Structure 1
Amino acid sequence: MLLNVIERRPLQADTRLPVVFLHGLFGRARNMGFLQRQASQTRRALALDLRNHGESPHGPMDYPKMVEDVLETLEAHNALPAVLIGHSMGGKLAMIAALQHPEQVAALLVADMAPARTGYGQSTLAEKMLHLKFPPFLDRKAATTLLEKLIDKRDVRDLMLQNVRLGQNPGWEIGLPEIMASMPNIENWPYMPEGHAYDGLTLFIRGEHSPYIGAQHQAVMNRLFPRHRLETLPNVGHWLHAEDPKGFSKLMMKFLAEV
């Protein structure tokens, strides 16, 4: 499946490897716009709408299919090998791509996701989103009020608002039925045999107040990503790149300078 891509390039030609942004569940490529603009100052930067998100096609979701989507799309754009930067579900996808196709992944940045089975209320949120009642007409102000019933944090709510079709006949633009049917796959972590590891440069960034990366994950992170390091972004939760974009960008740009 070829995915929708937003691409930015530096003003001057650059021979460094491209960087690719993979958003999380309920996200989309343009959610990563600030970070993509920062990265594109020095190298080619591509942000992808994953399947069932943004302007990409809809269909059943599991990580093998999604890895194929990403690699097929990047090959079509002559953007391999690449540095992968993924948040949440996108981080899990980036890790699996690196483990299965290490020759295509020059380096790896994972935002608030461990190589483990996850959940933490995402299924509940998806269920609420699926059953949200939309009025016959919706503008941005009314949509913000409507989403306040589901999402407390304003910065996260603003990201989710990009998934709402405004105007006449409003509704969700993302493939919510397909996402709901695939939630067991999305929350799962595929089995990786002993000795399966990615030896490239890897950075994990966790939110200080997020449960997604904990001490219980350190052993598997050491085994699967032996060259990784872990940074903690203070005073933020799981949506760390939205809650503190400047802090996240600083860590990201320092990492990219090492690649």
Structure 2
Amino acid sequence: MTSHNPSTAHENAHAPSTFVFIHGFLDGSTAWDEVVADLGDRAADALRVDLPGMGKRAGEPGPHSLDRFAEDVATQVRALARPIVLVGQSMGAQIAELVAGQLDEQVRALVLLTPVPLAGTELPDEVMKTFHALGGNPGAQRELRRNFSTSLDEERLETLSRLGDGVEAASVGVFADMWNRGHALGAQHSRYKGPVLIVRGEADPFVTAEVISSAVAPRFDEPVIASVGNAGHWPHVEQPEAFARVLSEFLATVDRARSAAVDRQDWTRAFEQKSVTAFADAFAADIVLEASALAKPVIGAEQVTAVMAAASTIYEALAFTREATSGLRTYLEWEAQAFGGDKLFGVTILSKNERGEIAHAAIHHRPLGGALKFSAELGRRVHGKVDAAHFFSAA
């Protein structure tokens, strides 16, 4: 069981994170407008970054580098002083990973959309001439976007292309070389160890499935890989609703897993403190506690708090060994020692209501002899506070 209450210091651990969106090569913060709108309230406080020299910061002088861009974003993120979800597209994915590696604990999840590998693409000079030639050439920029996309209508194409039009011609080649050469950290396993989602457009001719599987995904611990249909290199512009849906589904999974992890930490802390107040804030007013050490359920926050606080004083040692979550339900497997060395084992199942309060708890002890002994001792310790009919009596 966990100690969780939206009004406590643990509120931030359960609260939704703030999105930080980082655009790609020759784009700007407004490229995320439709995705933010489709995410609704979840992205109401989103930070949409404009990188130096692009978007609303077009013309901002260099020197430009991936490290400078990463530090620029990291500075803005630190100022938020709250947990974030980093979302980077194309070259922005390189920057997002660098920021995640710096800030680590502040980053709840990293999302790489049509990501250029952090190590770069290492395209030959002859190919890179095409990207260098985009500077000061609006027609060429529009043609490249058409070739790298599948469903950019003329309005969206023009909106996206105008962002590139504003970039100084001399900077275009500099930015292209940045993502092509990549960063030295791309040669090793990623420094960021948290949840990662990698998304590509199914028809993207630039960041292909082979690029993802060979140069991006292997650098992370168990990344989730997804794709957006009928989209090329800009799924967030071509299919914003579909990308928002993929993003939301991933974050729902991340939030559930994190909630379970926080539950485990808080519940462990409550047992370590062995106090009534450590348990009290966790429970709904009408919580129901069932257990193999109870003859019948205990109902109500005051009664359940008394039982759990007393139970914690019986254990001489307690370790949670496994955990899992499914929706609002958390499963915690544990092993304990009591009564001068007796071993007890069990599973705790916590079900929360929509307010995040524990509404139902089921605690299963084994072996039977230990459970009966535990029940009798628990009844002795809560005598006068909880009806004795709930507990086993050897008499």
Alpha-carbon distance in 2 for matches of 1:191, 1:146: 31
Matching of residues 52-201 of structure 1 within 5 Å = 52-56=53-57, 57-76=60-79, 78-115=80-117, 116-118=119-121, 124-131=130-137, 151-152=145-146, 153=152, 154=154, 157-163=157-163, 172-192=165-185, 194=188, 196-201=190-195
Q: What is the letter of the counterpart of residue 50 of structure 1?
A: L
What residue in structure 2 maps to residue 9 of structure 1?
none
**Distance of aligned partners of 1:117 and 1:31 in 2 relative to their CA distance in 1, 3 Å threshold:** same
Q: Shift of the alpha carbon at 1:151?
A: 4.9
Report which of the two structures shows the higher radius of gyration computed on alpha carbons: 2
State, as a whole percentage, how many aligned pairs show the same letter. Answer: 24
Q: Secondary structure at the match of 2:134?
A: helix
Q: Shift of the alpha carbon at 1:149?
A: 6.1
**Distance of aligned partners of 1:216 and 1:109 in 2 relative to their CA distance in 1, 3 Å threshold:** closer
Q: Secondary structure at the match of 2:48?
A: strand
Alpha-carbon distance in 1 for matches of 2:81, 2:172: 27
2:196 corresponds to 1:202: yes
Q: Shift of the alpha carbon at 1:55?
A: 1.7
**Distance of aligned partners of 1:122 and 1:86 in 2 relative to their CA distance in 1, 3 Å threshold:** farther
**Distance of aligned partners of 1:218 and 1:131 in 2 relative to their CA distance in 1, 3 Å threshold:** closer
What residue in structure 1 maps to residue 237 of structure 2?
242
Q: What is the letter of the counterpart of residue 127 of structure 1?
A: A
Q: What is the letter of the counterpart of residue 94 of structure 1?
A: A
> Are the counterparts in 1 of residues 135 and 173 from structure 2 also a CA contact under 8 Å?
no
Q: Secondary structure at the match of 1:199?
A: coil
2:220 corresponds to 1:218: no
Gaps of 5+ in 1: 1-13, 133-144, 165-171
| Runs of 4+ that moved beyond 4 A | 119-123, 145-151, 193-196
Gaps of 5+ in 2: 1-13, 147-151, 256-395
Q: Secondary structure at the match of 1:55?
A: helix
TM-score by length of 2: 0.51
Normalized per residue, the structure richer in helix is: 2
Q: Shift of the alpha carbon at 1:106?
A: 1.6
TM-score by length of 1: 0.74
User: How many residues of Structure 1 are paired with residues of Structure 2 in the alignment?
Assistant: 226
> Are the counterparts in 2 of residues 62 and 186 from structure 1 also a CA contact under 8 Å?
no
Alpha-carbon distance in 2 for matches of 1:87, 1:195: 20
Query: Can you list the C-alpha shifts for 1:197-235, whole angstroms capped at 9, x where unaligned?
Result: 322111111111113143354255444211311112122
Q: What CA RMSD, in Å, does the superposition of the two structures yield over aligned residues?
A: 2.9
